[in-house]
Chain A
């Protein structure tokens, strides 16, 4: 089947706007991860879901960042009142199960530019 898909691929937001980034994991994948990749840096962990449960959100940089996965499939990362430092590529990854949580398949990312 298809891999992990993310939409939109590119998003330009004015400072202060809210944005929503979508991730469609591979069908049947239980675990879902969000990472933030700033320009010239490696990805940094944001949050993790096991089915619909958000088990770790330690990487979310502020309370402006919110993620959900209400039915245990599609996930949305929402950023409120965007700021310039939020400009980055947001990567989503999924894996089959807790046992194989490290075998992550990544989507192409959403490049967010805040002007």
Chain B
């Protein structure tokens, strides 16, 4: 069965520091991979997605992620974090075989940004 693991439940970084949020997935074929951000009281917002092609994908708000098939990972990065980036981040994998759009989410990583 497909699964997504986000090993870090909570991360604190200083404003201006770099950020990497980890995501590992379990899926038999090439997965569709996503990162979402959820601010308090807000819906999930798509940051970026990977379907195929270039393994380094750029997203909104200065985020990027790299798909590494050998490591079954899709880590999210940002070179310089802003206080407004404090939120919950979810990695998700698409149920690609049926292409219904069904998403499997990880447990999430809460990002706290220190001034």
Smallest distance from the beta carbon of A112 to chain B beta carbons, Å? 15
Are B90's CB and A45's CB within 8 A? no
Q: Among B41-49, B53-61, B69-77, B78-86, which stretch is in contact with chain A?
A: B41-49
Which residues of chain A are within 8 angstroms of B107 by Cβ–Cβ distance? 40-42
Q: Does A108 contact B (CB under 8 A)?
A: yes
Given A42-B106, A102-B34, A102-B94, residue A4 in contact with residue B43 (CB < 8 A) = yes
Q: Does B104 contact A (CB under 8 A)?
A: yes
Are A103's CB and B108's CB within 8 A? no
Are B42's CB and A102's CB within 8 A? no
Given A42-B107, A102-B49, residue A56 in contact with residue B43 (CB < 8 A) = no
Cα distance A43–B105 when bound, in Å? 6
Partner of A106, one of B4, B43, B98, B101: B43
Which residues of chain A are within 8 angstroms of B46 by Cβ–Cβ distance? 103-105
Seen from chain A, the residues whose Cβ lies within 8 Å of a Cβ on chain B are 3-4, 31, 33, 35, 40-45, 48, 55-56, 59, 91, 93, 95, 98, 101-109
**7 pairs of residues in contact across A and B, judged by CB atoms under 8 Å:** A35-B103, A43-B44, A43-B105, A45-B103, A56-B102, A98-B99, A106-B44
- Sorted nearest first, the 5 A-B pairs with minimum C-beta distance are A101-B101, A42-B105, A106-B43, A106-B44, A108-B43
